[in-house]
Every structure is written in structure tokens, then in C-alpha cells.
A and B are shown apart, each in its own frame.
Chain A
């Protein structure tokens, strides 16, 4: 290897081959994945995000939630994702085309969030409580509190905020004050509440379910 050009051309070819072989091929394969129109209800799935939820996605990025949370449910024979009720089914690539940016995550210091809104106990109030004082709904967690997503302010008599958190006991604000989620908290909650892949695509199900074993000796 006396010639610098050999190394130059070789490295260039390697990077180009890996780009074309992995990224370009994958892009050609499913970069144009489209919504699936259900013939029965006429909806195109996945349903698009609301504007508020899309703003919440930006808050999710800004606060780095993906540092500790994944957003992918692996298939039945790959870990206990389904046993943990993190989803009714595995995640499909098609689920994600509704989001402008996708954060699959690579750490599960916290639970998976891909279907967080499908869990019975999760609603706006639960999420606000979790964000403001994690221990109020999840004792023993090491999730940090996000007090800066909330305003603690004095209640004007007769004009309490409808969004004020219903805290009692040790998490309650001082008497005469209320804890109200800021606009960012509302957006983030809207985004989290949009995470619900409950629609089961017939096309995907057919592709991802192993065929039933062939029956023998019957007619």
C-alpha cells in the first residue's frame, strides 16, 4: 500500500457501499410506506397526530425522554414486552410514519412508552402527577421530577384552574395555591396520550404471524 490513492478510493468505496447497501436499500424497501385505509371504517391508519401532540413531540425531544424510554414493542418471542402489557401486539414500521421524528430509544431504565396511552390507568391527570411529583403515582421510581413544567400559583377565589392537579397529603401545594401544568406540559401529555398503536393492520398481521402448522391426515 504505497499509494495513497488506493486507501482514498478504498475507504470511499467502503463508506459508499455501506450507505447504498444499508440505508439506500432500506429506504427503497420501505421509505414510501403509506397509511393503510381500512375498508370497514374508512379511516387511514395510523391516524395523524393532532397539532398539540406534535408540539408535545418536540417537548419529548427537548427533555431527552428517549434517554431512558424506548418506543418499540418487540415481538412475542423477543423479551417480555407483550407479557408486560406494553402493547397488544409488536410495533410495526408502519406505526411510526405519522411522526415527523422517530425515537425508538435504546435504554429501558424506564418502561416502554409506545402504547402508554393504551394502559387503563394512564390519563392526563396521571401524567401530570407523574411529571410533577413522580413518587405520588409511582413510589420508588428514579424518574426525575419536572417541576419546571408546572406553575405553582395562588388561587384566585372562585377561579381555580380546571387543570389544577388534585393533590392531597404530602405532595399538595401550600394552602391557597394550586399546581397548574404549563403549555409545554399540556403538549407533552397530549403527545404521550397519542401513543396508542391499537389498530391491528391485516396486512402486517398476515406478514408477521407465523403460518399455522399444516394439519396432516385430514381432509
Chain B
């Protein structure tokens, strides 16, 4: 089996109907967090070239607003959209409807309450300052509990599946959903409940951060790519027989990459070495995944918005994998470590790879849940265009500026004033890139809520695949 099996259409509509409200609530929360987190991120970026911006207000001081933005984007936008997409896809691929969806909505509300308290906690001064675990400890159990409920739903749906086989997207979703609670619990216990001493704390944090990106967000993006490309293009995944190897290899190797983030630091050297080796071994699954997915894409007409977003996601996946490998090598890390390039790596994982895949997924899923098309195709075009431009501009800016920054840092005679001065134009370009992305987010936000309220069934074949009325939507686009 190398493309998602097709249930009959009425079954599929029944499954979609069972997923409607939980998934729309999760997507709706995700979009709101995307706007909020994006705004905070933009504030933090503006402060790099205009340090007086909002500096007098303690809540918005750079050291608080930057982690607040990152947490809002990871736990607000990231988790909501990943769970919304994951629940929908798992139900579809398992041919099982989502039962008792009301509980999912309750869990989603509690999750969002937890994230809100956590982000507010960071901005009001309760941050722990551990990367991606900055949220104050009082939200931990709230987050874990509500996540447990949603994750259990996804796993149960998989367990109750009515299919003989399982598909690659299901493995990746299952792996992502199942590894997060372990990573989070272990990191919380080792940092706060029974804290380890000294630089071991940095090791725990690096292990968590690399696990969250590599075992959580990237697999969800890959699940989307493995599902939507064959589905929309109407062709099987190329070399699918290699996909199970890639799956296990990717998860196993990624789990050991954490130490490479601490290269050169006051931690045992074998941690960084293990990370470098793991990153090297990742070349194999990355190549297989590229063969699978780019092979499926090759020569296909890419009129579909979803496919175009996912193509960006795949490019970002390759770039981030390459950068991760390079950063674990001493020769590259000597210059690039601690510069904007390390920021670029994480941004490519979370935004370039994961977020674009979720945009693509949302454009496919939402019309099927609401039963009517997206309200405005101009807004979709604006979102796609702004995302593409923003991705290119930010990647070029952070990459180039980070390398210059690293070279200047390694030249002891160059003062910090000179480094700041040289970087300021690049910081401005970075802000412009984030503004472009914000334009895209706003278009997405408006279109999403506008489409929820509107009733505008589309007839005829004047609109692309994603906009057709539900029964026609399953036909592969030309």
C-alpha cells in the first residue's frame, strides 16, 4: 500500500463531520496564537535595531518578550494546529470517527488556558529562563493533563482503526504525539521537581528542545507531506518501500542529536560527539524522505495551494537538516555557534518546516469540515506569496548576518559596538521579513474566521481543488 486508501465518500464525510468542532476549535485557537505570537516576535525583532522600543515597559523588555513569543508560537500555534491536523488525519486514515469530541474541546480550552497563563507568566516575570520550558511551573500539570486527554484521543482513534494496514502519516503522527509527554515530563522532573546540578541542566534542556523540534514538530510536518502529496496529486509515493526504514531511522537518530547543541560548552565532550554522529546518521532518512516526497512531486502540476505550502515545508526540512548537521561540526560551529545562525536553525524547523505544512493542511481541511469553500482566494494568494517572500528574506538575512556576526565575534579586536553597528541593517531586514509573514498571518486569520461565518457554497469548476464543494473535493486536481 503506497498511497492512502480510499474509504467511500459517505463514510469519509461522516468521519469529517465527527471531527468538525474539535478540529475547528483547535485550528481557531492556533490562528489566534499565531497572530499573538507573531506580534510578540515582531516586537522582539524591532527591539534589536531600535532598543528603546517598548523598553520602558517591564512586560515587554526584550528578555521577556522574545521567549514569550517563542512559547506562544510553539505551545499556542504549534500544538493547537498539530493536534487539530493530527486528530483529523488520524481519524481519516484509521477510518474511525472521533467519538465524544466534546471532551476534546474541553481539553483544548484547558490547554489554551495553560498556554495563556504561561505566556503571561513569562511576561510578568515568572520565567524560568530554560529554553522552551520558560513557562512558570504552575501551568505544567494543566498542560500535561489537557495534552494527555487530546493525545489519548489520537492514540485511541489509531487503536480503534478499521483498516488492515497503517500508513506512513500515521506512524509519524503517533510517534510525535507519543514522544512529547515523555520528553516534557522527564525534562520537568530533571529541571524542577528533582533538579540535576550544574551544567547537566543545560544538557537536559538541549535534549528537550531538540526532541521537541525533531521528534514532535518535524514528524507532524512529514505526516502532512506523506498524506497530502499523493492524495492531491493522485499518484503513489515514490519508493514507498523505503518509508518504514526512514521512519525508524529518523526517530532513533534524532533522539540522540540533543548534545550537539552544546558543542564546545562546559559539558562532557562525548555529548557533542554523539550528537554530531547522530546528525551524520540522519543523512540516510533525510535522503529517503526526499526521494519519497520530491519523487512524488516531480513533474506534477502544482496548482493546489496545499501542495505549494508543503513544497516549502520540504525545502525548509532539507535546509534545517543540513544546518543541524553543519552546526554539529566543530569547523562550522566555531564561527556559527551563538550567532543568528543557531536562531535560523530553530526557526527553519518550527516555521519553515512545520508551520508551512500546517498552513497547507488547514487550506485542505477547513473547507471539508465547514462544508463550504474559503471565502477569498485573493487572501490565500496573499498568504502564500507573503510566506514565500518572508521565508526567503529571513533565511538569507539570518544566514548571512549570522555568518558575519560569527566572524566578527572570532576577531577579538572587533568591539561589540562595531558588531552591533554592522548587524543593524540586517536586524531591520529581519523585521521586514517578519512583517511580511505577519501580513500572511493576517490574511489567513481573516479568511479563516470569515469562512467560518459565511455560507458560500462553490459551484462549477472555476476554482482550484481546495475550493470545490465537499463531494467533489476528493477528486485529485488536474
- Which residue numbers of A lie inside 8 Å of B, CB to CB? 1-2, 4, 7-8, 10-12, 14-15, 17-19, 21-23, 26-27, 29-31, 33, 60-68, 70, 72, 74-75, 78-80, 83-85, 90-97, 99-111, 134, 138-148
Give the residue of A27, A95, A105, A142 whose beta carbon is less than 8 angstroms from that of B420.
A142
- B117-154 residues with Cβ-Cβ distance < 8 A to A are 122, 125-131, 134
Asked whether B204 lies within 8 Å of A141 as measured between CB atoms, the reply is: no
Chain B residues with CB below 8 A from A102, complex form:
198-199, 201-202
Asked whether B164 lies within 8 Å of A67 as measured between CB atoms, the reply is: no
Chain B residues with CB below 8 A from A66, complex form:
63, 129
Asked whether B62 lies within 8 Å of A144 as measured between CB atoms, the reply is: yes
Spot the interface stretch: B4-12, B254-262, B430-438, B468-476.
B254-262
Asked whether B198 lies within 8 Å of A30 as measured between CB atoms, the reply is: yes
Max chain B C-beta neighbours (<10 A), residue from A10, A30, A78, A109: A109
Q: Tell me the complex Cα distance, A146–B182, Å.
A: 38
User: In the complex where A1-B166, A61-B127 touch, is A97 in contact with B256 (Cβ < 8 A)?
Assistant: no
Chain A residues with CB below 8 A from B424, complex form:
142
Chain A residues with CB below 8 A from B195, complex form:
100-101
Asked whether B67 lies within 8 Å of A18 as measured between CB atoms, the reply is: no
16 contacts between A and B (CB under 8 A): A1-B166, A2-B166, A11-B178, A15-B182, A18-B256, A22-B259, A62-B125, A64-B127, A64-B129, A75-B264, A80-B412, A93-B198, A101-B129, A102-B202, A104-B266, A143-B51
Q: Tell me the complex Cα distance, A84–B174, Å.
A: 48
Q: Tell me the complex Cα distance, A67–B316, Å.
A: 24
Q: Taking the nearest CB of chain B, how far is it from the CB of A126, in angstroms?
A: 15
Chain B residues with CB below 8 A from A144, complex form:
47, 51-52, 55, 61-62
User: In the complex where A31-B197, A141-B417, A142-B420 touch, is A11 in contact with B49 (Cβ < 8 A)?
Assistant: no
Q: Taking the nearest CB of chain A, how far is it from the CB of B97, in angstroms?
A: 18
Chain A residues with CB below 8 A from B409, complex form:
79-80, 84, 108
Q: Taking the nearest CB of chain B, how far is it from the CB of A212, in angstroms?
A: 21
User: In the complex where A14-B255, A102-B202, A148-B58 touch, is A67 in contact with B339 (Cβ < 8 A)?
Assistant: no
Asked whether B164 lies within 8 Å of A2 as measured between CB atoms, the reply is: yes
Q: Taking the nearest CB of chain A, how far is it from the CB of B208, in angstroms?
A: 10
Nearest-neighbor residue (CB-CB) of B55 within chain A = A144
Q: Tell me the complex Cα distance, A168–B405, Å.
A: 34
Q: Tell me the complex Cα distance, A140–B51, Å.
A: 11
Asked whether B158 lies within 8 Å of A4 as measured between CB atoms, the reply is: yes
Q: Top 4 closest A-B pairs, CB basis? A: A64-B63, A18-B255, A83-B412, A140-B417
User: In the complex where A11-B251, A22-B259, A61-B128 touch, is A68 in contact with B63 (Cβ < 8 A)?
Assistant: yes
Asked whether A19 lies within 8 Å of B129 as measured between CB atoms, the reply is: no
Asked whether B61 lies within 8 Å of A22 as measured between CB atoms, the reply is: no
Give the residue of B199, B405, B410 whose beta carbon is less than 8 angstroms from that of A79.
B410
Give the residue of B49, B165, B200 whose beta carbon is less than 8 angstroms from that of A26.
B200
**Residue B334 is within 8 A (CB to CB) of chain A in the complex:** yes
Asked whether A93 lies within 8 Å of B166 as measured between CB atoms, the reply is: no
Max chain A C-beta neighbours (<10 A), residue from B55, B129, B134, B337: B129
Q: Tell me the complex Cα distance, A11–B216, Å.
A: 12
Give the residue of B251, B259, B330 whose beta carbon is less than 8 angstroms from that of A78.
B330
Asked whether B198 lies within 8 Å of A79 as measured between CB atoms, the reply is: no
Asked whether A7 lies within 8 Å of B175 as measured between CB atoms, the reply is: yes
- B1-56 residues with Cβ-Cβ distance < 8 A to A are 47-49, 51-52, 55-56
Please name 20 further chain A to chain B contacts, defined as beta carbons within 8 Å, in addition to the given A31-B200, A106-B261, A142-B427, sorted by A numbering.
A1-B171, A4-B166, A8-B174, A11-B179, A23-B186, A33-B197, A64-B61, A65-B129, A67-B66, A70-B338, A79-B409, A93-B266, A103-B129, A106-B342, A107-B338, A140-B421, A142-B51, A144-B47, A144-B62, A148-B58
